């Protein structure tokens, strides 16, 4: 395996308290990055922090669905690390909500966390001095649900599709200041979120999900490896792209 891919990179990872975000923070630290861990649960952030390799990593607990909290996170990141080399925006929520059951507040909750936060992270990052002028990478975690429909998650699918559209527009707008913007679209990855989903499904429904992934379900590390590529200098000519990491799910 490649080593020291992210040596001396200064990276902010949102949603770092669990799942994919946690795996990304751990792997990035193993590759030499200095990481700011963000999430709502300070105790779980502390647990992630203990698993990181190297020194100088820090945590900041915030609710990024609130713009004031998000601004505070970006201010803290800049004041602590200076110009950032990368942000990996993993924070997000999924709710199983059939169309007849969804309420306006639930729709707003999903879009506030999954989409609005992504937009304003970019807004606060692009300020002078906050990004590495020699090259900065902004990575959003989308989902194959953005283009592979499933019942009862229409709002989640819409929010993840919005991220892909957002990233393509931002990639063009921010290229002139050397910020690259890309998304990663995972299939079903074995995380606590998916464990919760499993409890809502019949055995037959869950087995169908397994069958729809020719290479099996993913691990958080699979997404971390893809994110490391997009955060590294190896992808210096990649922007506006959506990297599908789904074990073959979207080939159906």
The residue annotated as part of the active site, out of 156, 206, 229, 249, is: 156
**Residue located via tokens 């992210």:** 6
- E-strand ranges in the chain read 10-14, 34-39, 58-61, 86-89, 136-141, 179-186, 242-245
Torsion sign across C-alpha atoms 212, 217, 222, 223: positive
Give the Cα separation of 33 and 12 in Å (integer): 10
**Residue located via tokens 């990297």:** 243
Tokens of residue 246, six digits: 């789904």
Q: Is residue 156 flagged as an active site residue? A: yes
250 and 188 Cβ atoms separated by less than 8 Å: no
Angle at the Cα of 85 (from 19 to 236), degrees rounded to 5? Answer: 100
Give the Cα separation of 48 and 59 in Å (integer): 9
**Beta bridge partners of residue 183, listed in sequence order:** 140, 242
Indicate which residues carry an active-site annotation: 156
């Amino acid at each position: 395996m490649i080593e020291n891919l992210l040596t001396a990179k200064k990276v902010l990872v949102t949603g770092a308290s669990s799942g994919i975000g946690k795996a990304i923070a751990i792997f990035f630290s193993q590759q030499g990055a200095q990481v700011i861990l963000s999430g709502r649960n300070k105790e779980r952030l502390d647990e992630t922090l203990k698993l990181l390799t190297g020194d100088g990593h820090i945590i900041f607990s915030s609710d990024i669905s609130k713009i004031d909290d998000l601004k505070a996170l970006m201010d803290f990141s800049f004041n602590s690390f200076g110009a950032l080399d990368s942000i990996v925006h993993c924070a997000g929520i999924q709710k199983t909500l059939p169309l007849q059951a969804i309420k306006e507040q639930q729709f707003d909750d999903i879009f506030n966390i999954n989409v609005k936060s992504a937009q304003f992270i970019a807004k606060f990052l692009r300020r002078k001095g906050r990004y590495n002028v020699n090259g900065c990478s902004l990575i959003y975690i989308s989902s194959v649900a953005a283009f592979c429909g499933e019942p009862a998650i229409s709002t989640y699918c819409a929010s993840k599709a919005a991220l892909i559209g957002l990233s393509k527009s931002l990639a063009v707008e921010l290229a002139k200041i050397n910020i690259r913007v890309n998304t990663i679209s995972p299939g079903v990855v074995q995380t606590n979120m998916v464990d919760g989903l499993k409890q809502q499904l019949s055995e037959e429904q869950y087995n169908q999900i397994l069958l729809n992934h020719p290479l099996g379900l993913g691990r958080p590390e699979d997404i971390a490896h893809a994110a490391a590529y997009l955060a590294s200098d190896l992808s210096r000519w990649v922007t506006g792209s959506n990297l599908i990491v789904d074990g073959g799910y979207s080939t159906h």
